[in-house]
Amino acid sequence: MAKKKSFPLRIDPELYKVLERWAQDEFRSVNGHIEFLLRDAARREGQLNKRSDEKRDES
């Protein structure tokens, strides 16, 4: 598995509460859900190569 980049994220507390509930509904951690949402948005906008993303999921 590729090493992940760590960085601090400042986020509005109300938005964090929303993300926390949403992540629980999807059986993900908040961090995992944020990554899922960002990856999905990047894919929809054509900014993420689907083929390289699929290879990452197989690892």
- Full pLDDT tens readout for the chain, 59 residues: 678 899 999 999 999 999 999 999 999 999 999 999 999 999 999 998 865 555 565 55
The C-alpha atoms of residue 41 and residue 10 are separated, in whole angstroms, by 20
Domain boundaries, the chain: 19-58
DSSP state of 12: -
Helix, strand, coil share (%) of the chain residues, nearest 5: 65, 0, 35
Residue bearing tokens 């906008």: 45
For 44, list phi and psi in degrees, rounded to 5. -65, -35
Q: How far is Cα 55 from Cα 59, in angstroms, rounded to an integer?
A: 7
